[in-house]
């Protein structure tokens, strides 16, 4: 269980690192099966693009080489990952921070930065990727490798979740991001973590990360959790019910399950 200090830290800052959520034996299996997924199914051309990137790389060569390996829904490829995303201790911690009695897994996404060339992420909130009606949503970054400033660990703007959902720069040629002159990676605090640690943050916490200059892999898997009462408006996983990891699914007014088991707005009588 979380301490009062941990809950207060999260409320103040909008993020928190939990140490050693996954013990070495579980982590070893997650790591091996993740490598299998990376080699067999993942896309190696997933680096986020856009004009913002020139503020995040040192020169054209670094920009050209920037690489991100990504794939969604690790639990569709590996039983170790099904256990990882539904881990009761993690669900309890997220539910305590969200102050809810019911919690649903919304998605999982791999972000693996290869040695030396791992791509940067612009400052952004995750809300443009999976817009929800309110703030009862948290992301968990499950660390497979030690990550520090040199390997492009996650960085947050402290307390920024209190700004609420912000308007992002969007478009066909760019990943969603916030204006680079107003929201700077240099102003963010970096949160180094060890393999087995989990970094939790609120859906509205502004974050980003730098190029991996370390010579080592920086693999992490983001797992999104929501209160099932918080209805999705748009984006990744829209209409797809997730696995319940705490409590029971409450009946949500205005939504019904269709014949295929997907959530759809209830038809007006």
Ligand X SMILES: O=C(O)CCC(=O)C(=O)O
The nearer residue to ligand X, 159 or 247, going by C-beta atoms, is 159
Residue 222 in contact with ligand X, rule: CB under 6 A:
yes
Cα–Cα distances in Å, from 21 out to 5, 83, 134? 18, 13, 27
Distance of CA 263 to the CA centre of its chain: 23
Q: What's phi and psi for 135, nearest 5 deg?
A: -90, 10
Q: How far apart are CB 249 and ligand X at their closest, in Å?
A: 26
> Does residue 104 belong to the site contacting ligand X (CB under 6 A)?
no
Instruction: Label the pairing between strands 198-202 and 69-72.
Output: unpaired
Binding status of residue 53 toward ligand X by CB under 6 A:
no
Nearer to ligand X, 97 or 119 (CB): 119
Classify burial at 183, counting beta carbons within 10 Å of its beta carbon; exposed 0-12, middle 13-18, buried 19 or more.
buried
Least spacing, CB of residue 14 vs ligand X, in Å: 14
Host H or E run for residue 111: strand 103-113
Say whether 12 sits in a helix, a strand or coil.
Answer: helix
- Tell me how far the alpha carbon of residue 75 is from its chain's centroid: 15
**Which member of 21, 56, 126, 161 binds ligand X (CB under 6 A)?**
126
Nearer to ligand X by C-beta: 163 or 252? Answer: 163
CB of 247 to ligand X, least distance (A): 26
Query: Which one, 10 or 130, has the nearer CB to ligand X?
Result: 130
The residues with which 207 forms a beta bridge, in sequence order, are: 124, 156
Secondary structure of residue 177 in the 3-state scheme? strand
Q: How far is the CB of 91 from ligand X (least distance, A)?
A: 19
- At its nearest, how many Å lie between ligand X and the CB of residue 74? 14
Q: With CB under 6 A, what is the number of residues at the site for ligand X?
A: 9
Q: Which of 17, 132, 207, 219 binds ligand X (CB under 6 A)?
A: 207
Using CB under 6 A as the binding rule, whether residue 154 contacts ligand X is answered as yes
The DSSP code sequence of 131-169 is EESSS-EEEEEEESS-B-GGGT--EE-TTGGGG-S-PPB
Whether 132 contacts 190, CB under 8 Å: no
Q: Does 206 bind ligand X (CB under 6 A)?
A: no
Binder of ligand X out of 209, 214, 230, 232 (CB under 6 A) = 209
> Using CB atoms, what's the residue nearest to ligand X?
209
CB of residue 207 vs ligand X: minimum separation in angstroms?
6
CB of 224 to ligand X, least distance (A): 9
CA dist list (Å): 93 to 17, 205, 224: 11, 18, 13
Q: Is 205 in the site for ligand X (CB under 6 A)?
A: no
200 binds ligand X (CB under 6 A): no
Q: Exactly one of 111, 132, 136, 177 binds ligand X (CB under 6 A); which one?
A: 111
CA 244 to chain centre: 18
The footprint of ligand X (CB under 6 A) covers 111, 121, 126, 152, 154, 207, 209, 220, 222
């Amino acid at each position: 269980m979380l301490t009062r200090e941990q809950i207060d830290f999260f409320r103040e800052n909008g993020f928190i690192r939990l140490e050693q959520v996954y013990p070495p034996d579980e982590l070893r299996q997650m790591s091996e099966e993740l490598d299998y997924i990376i080699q067999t199914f993942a896309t190696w051309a997933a680096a986020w693009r856009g004009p913002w990137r020139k503020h995040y790389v040192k020169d054209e060569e670094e920009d050209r080489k920037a690489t991100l390996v990504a794939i969604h829904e690790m639990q569709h490829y590996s039983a170790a990952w099904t256990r990882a995303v539904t881990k009761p201790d993690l669900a309890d911690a997220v539910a305590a921070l969200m102050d809810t009695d019911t919690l649903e897994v919304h998605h999982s996404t791999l972000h693996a930065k290869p040695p030396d060339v791992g791509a940067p992420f612009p400052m952004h909130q995750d809300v443009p990727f999976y817009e929800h009606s309110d703030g009862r949503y948290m992301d968990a970054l499950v660390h497979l490798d030690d990550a520090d400033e040199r390997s492009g660990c996650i960085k947050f703007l402290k307390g920024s979740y209190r700004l609420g959902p912000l308007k992002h720069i969007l478009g066909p040629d760019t990943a969603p991001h916030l204006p680079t002159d107003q929201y700077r990676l240099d102003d963010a605090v970096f949160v180094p973590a060890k393999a087995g640690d989990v970094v939790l943050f609120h859906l509205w916490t502004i974050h980003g990360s730098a190029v991996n200059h370390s010579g080592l892999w920086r693999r992490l898997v983001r797992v999104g959790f929501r209160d099932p009462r918080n209805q999705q408006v748009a984006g990744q996983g829209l209409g797809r019910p997730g696995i319940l990891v705490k409590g029971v699914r409450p009946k949500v007014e205005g939504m019904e399950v269709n014949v295929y088991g997907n959530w759809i707005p209830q038809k007006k009588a």
